[in-house]
Chains A and B, each alone.
Chain A
Amino acid sequence: MQSEADVCLIVEGGYPYIVGGVAFWMDAFMRASPGLKFHVISISISSQPKVRKFSIPDNLVGTTDVILDACPAGRVPTRRDSELISTGVRRIQSTFAGDRDNGFALLVDLVRRTGFGQAALIDSKPGWVALEQVYRDLLPDAPFVDFFWAWRFLAQSLLTIISTPLPHARIFHAVSAGYAGLLGAYARQVTKRPYVVTEHGIYTNERRIELGIADWIFDSGAGGFAVGERPVALRDFWFNAFASLSQITYEFADVITTQYRANQDYQRLDGAPEHKLRIIPNGIDADVYAKIHRSTEPRPPTVLMIGRIVPIKDTRTFIMAMARLRELVPDVVAIMIGPEEEDPAYAKGCHELVAQLGLEATVQFLGRVRDVNAYLGQVDVIALTSISEAQPLALLEAAATGLPAVTTDVGSCRELIEGFEGDPVIGVGGIVVEACNPNAVAEALAAILGNDQMRADMGRIMQQRTLNLYHKDRVRRMYESLYASMNPQLSFANPQ
């Protein structure tokens, strides 16, 4: 029998199968807390590869895979179940409508009591009748095919989540809202164990961006020529559903943490109660990075960018900024480190853009490298052009080595570079620019590369700030004291 974990971490679309900021955070978090036993529930969809990208730490005692589109069939319904099925579907609807009328908790109760799953609530005739009613209630003129697929996926994923076998754990800790947060809420409802959610990025913001650019959602048409009426918005339906997941997460969580203040404003807007909010930043092994030797060998001015080559990192803006920067600093070199396989088409487009701009001699794509640290001492400034971030570990690590930074004004970047009210470290460690503005990025980089004193001062401030606030031991102690306050039975064998 599997031993009870101290903490069950719940993650969506990440650890241990996909490399990314949150996945690295989880790996580092578990390794930094050897006194705690962890269990990981990893939520994904069937088409995502299930090849582990991380070595499993010794204190990870179990993992559970939840495949959102592999919904359990559940009990085969009988004729007498029609009314119950209709009630179940109405509760699914309520869950996705901002958890109206306590729909989620009642749905969990109904599913556990009846054994219903996809066969009853999605694929049965009473389920279909109830679906038609939901359609008439929500989007009576929307393309029915699109609504069908949207509803089907959302209902399937909800039923999958609330059918998940829960591990024995003293605390459930979701590392995002959304489906991970929903599963945490389910665990809270069923086990009555404490539940904490940590949001690195704000789930509703990320979904808003994703849905805003999604080309698979059909807009317009259903309104016909009735210009006086607002067009049917399937996008809104999707967004409201995802916003509901956050609301349920906030409602059930005992504590809601995030890394920086700006995120808390969004959480409040999404309905998070003030008394549950905490800030716990990301932690890194700052001592290790601080010891990295900064090379003084002569070299051309060098800019480093670390991150996956994907649209959300806005790599194209970085490349276009390099074209402008080369005009300002002709011998500049740009090094890009990060995997390209997640969005091959986008990565290919980035390579083509480099060729179109004649930057082959300036921009180097290194892909995934064995030792990123080796590069941190060989560059002059780190750049980050993301259109969405939380508290990027790459930026913290680079800062700990004493590198100044140019970043877009996303996530906690401004807080990291410019400090915040009450910050014991005074001064700026780089320049914050607006997103999607290659000229601004290039000019900021040129300013730092062209002024040795400024570069040194900024690097020192970044390093001090990181050592003070983002050291992993400090962050570990914050989490351990949080866990201990939520479950006094937890003891920490290796407090430091």
Chain B
Amino acid sequence: MRRSGITIEWMARQRGLTGIILAYVYAALLVAGPWLFTILAVFGLSAAKCSSGCDQLPLFRSIVIYNSLYALVITSPLGFLAGRHISDQLYVNRTECVISVFVTCFVAFCLVTLLTMVPFYLLAASLSGPVRVAAIQNVLLLGVSWLLIPFLGAIRAPLTLLSGFAANALLMGVVGALLANPSVLVLLVVLNGAFAITNLILIATLVRTFGMHVVWDRSLLHFPPRNWELPLAGLAYALGIWVDKVIMWFTAPSGTLVVAGILRTMPSYDTAMFWAQLAAIPALAIALVHVDTQLAGLFGRFYGRFDQQASLRELAVAMSAIRRCVVASVVMLFVTLAIVTTMSIVLSFVFMSQIGLRPGYMSIFRISLWAMVFHTSAMLCFAFLLYFDLRRPALLVVAVYAILNGICTLLFVHVGEGYYGYGSLSAAVITFLVAFPVLLRELPWLHYHAFITNNASLQRSYKRHRLPVSVG
């Protein structure tokens, strides 16, 4: 399968404007396709005609929000670990392990869900029996679909991934248009049906590629202890995204919404944050078009020089080009995000009602946009650090954000309604101020990391080099 960067590069090199636009659209879909299509699907379903005020929608949205939170927090550690492991295994042509790794992750996710979300919905939430079952089904289906994302990414099947989620969105859009006064149960059943189709498409792709045979992968036992930073980074990443929202839901003195007895949300904060995060997508698409096309080539050249018996001076030249590309990418993304944010703030009065932003939400929206600028830039640094396999610095970045986002949100939530969002902004600014220097500090050491810290062939190579020891 063709690497996504090659496709983008090919599109971007077309002389016509259409090709360039298509490259950006494709990159945007790669950056946030599953997320975008899921949101479109939920919006499509929420667009069902209601004659009596759609009183079931807040409960439906709350269940989906809680399930999304849970699924992201649990699947991210598994996904970070599994994605890296199968990438390594596929690199050495060990394809037989992919299905067994997926099955292991699936079983782990289901077990944790059975121990946590099943009691949550059965014992804590005030829901009818069928809705409880549908909610549990929903968290399982959402989680599995997100668990599949790193697997499809590792086998370079982005189009299949997008198709699966696009089919989901399309189906729910159509069903949403046909429904009238749907109950929360109907909404959940339709959502579950759509996600079941998505999961079937994605699993079928995996099975078609690797077969049904499950071979126990012994290396899976040794991988987590050696790469413990990856699941922690995944967990910290997911917690960082949600921790401020959860704190706001449960500690904000006003503006919260409680449904089913326990499902607390805060529409003003959640909506503003959601649109702010959505605003990052165009800039991320631009970054992906530029970064992925350049960096993959530069990195390939850097490693290619090893095989070409390059001297240290020649390696330093290749490394310097990577360093320039990375720094330029972070700066470009930051500037682009700042421009998008400024424009969004200036023009927000034009579209605020259309996207559900009430005047009271605007202060949070503006702060959230600036928080997004710093958070997204910091996460690009995080992505670069992971790309270079610098796991501990990467973990540091997301851990700093997760911890600070929690602490700062707690500090600001009681200062007053006018300061909602400042906690998240403070955390994002500090995290970026940590992440960028960390990245800058590590960039001159790429060859050191390639040779020493990330060199998986250190042991194997002794055999290859037939070490000279005399035989008496």
Contacts and interface: CB of A to CB of B under 8 A. Distances in A.
A25 B310 CA distance: 46
Contact of B472 (A15, A214, A342): A15
A207 B311 CA distance: 26
Interface stretch (B187-195, B407-415, B460-468): B460-468
B312 interface: yes
B93 interface: no
A207 B471 CA distance: 11
Interface in B441-472: 445, 448, 451-453, 461-472
Contacts of A145: 306, 309-310
A132 B312 contact: yes
B74 to A, nearest CB: 34
A306 interface: no
Given A125-B448, A176-B470, A143 B462 contact: no
A176 to B, nearest CB: 6
A179 B313 CA distance: 33
A375 B470 CA distance: 29
A292 interface: no
B469 A43 contact: yes
A119 to B, nearest CB: 11
A143 to B, nearest CB: 4
B470 A13 contact: yes
Contacts of B313: 140-141
Contacts of A176: 470, 472
B152 interface: no
Nearest to A19: B471
A216 B466 contact: yes
Interface string A116-160: 000000010100100010011000111111101100010000000
Nearest to B452: A123
A23 B472 CA distance: 6
A216 B315 CA distance: 21
B309 A143 contact: yes
A252 B59 CA distance: 84
Contact of B471 (A14, A125, A142, A144): A14
B302 to A, nearest CB: 12
Contacts of A222: 309, 311
Nearest to A148: B451
- Most A C-beta atoms less than 10 A away, residue of B313, B448, B463: B448
Given A69-B462, A125-B445, A149-B461, A135 B312 contact: yes
A336 to B, nearest CB: 19
A216 B309 CA distance: 13
Interface string B421-448: 0000000000000000000000001001
Given A12-B470, A14-B471, A153 B465 contact: yes
A97 to B, nearest CB: 18
B467 A206 contact: no
B311 A22 contact: no
Nearest to A175: B472
A460 interface: no
Given A47-B463, A123-B452, A153-B462, A12 B311 contact: no
B448 A136 contact: no
A404 interface: no
A37 interface: no
Given A46-B462, A47-B463, A128-B452, A206 B311 contact: no
A45 B469 contact: yes
Interface string B44-66: 00000000000000000000000
Contacts of A47: 462-463
A214 B451 CA distance: 23
Contacts of A136: 312
B472 A48 contact: no
Nearest to B463: A47
A13 B465 contact: no
A433 interface: no
Contact of A48 (B312, B465, B469): B469
Given A140-B313, A141-B311, A153-B462, A342 B468 contact: no
B469 A44 contact: yes
Contacts of B469: 12-13, 43-45, 48, 68, 179
Interface in B87-129: none
A437 B452 CA distance: 48
A287 B47 CA distance: 107
A458 to B, nearest CB: 30
B463 A146 contact: no
8 contacts: A43-B469, A69-B467, A140-B311, A145-B306, A149-B465, A153-B465, A214-B466, A222-B311
Given A140-B311, A222-B309, 17 more contacts: A13-B471, A13-B472, A14-B471, A22-B472, A43-B469, A48-B469, A68-B467, A69-B467, A125-B448, A141-B311, A142-B311, A143-B310, A145-B309, A149-B461, A153-B465, A211-B468, A342-B471
Interface of A: 11-15, 18, 20-23, 43-48, 68-69, 123, 125, 128, 132, 135-136, 140-146, 148-149, 153, 175-176, 178-179, 200, 203, 206-207, 210-211, 214, 216, 218, 221-222, 238, 242, 342
The 7 A-B pairs of least Cβ separation, nearest first, read: A22-B472, A14-B472, A143-B309, A144-B312, A13-B469, A128-B448, A13-B471
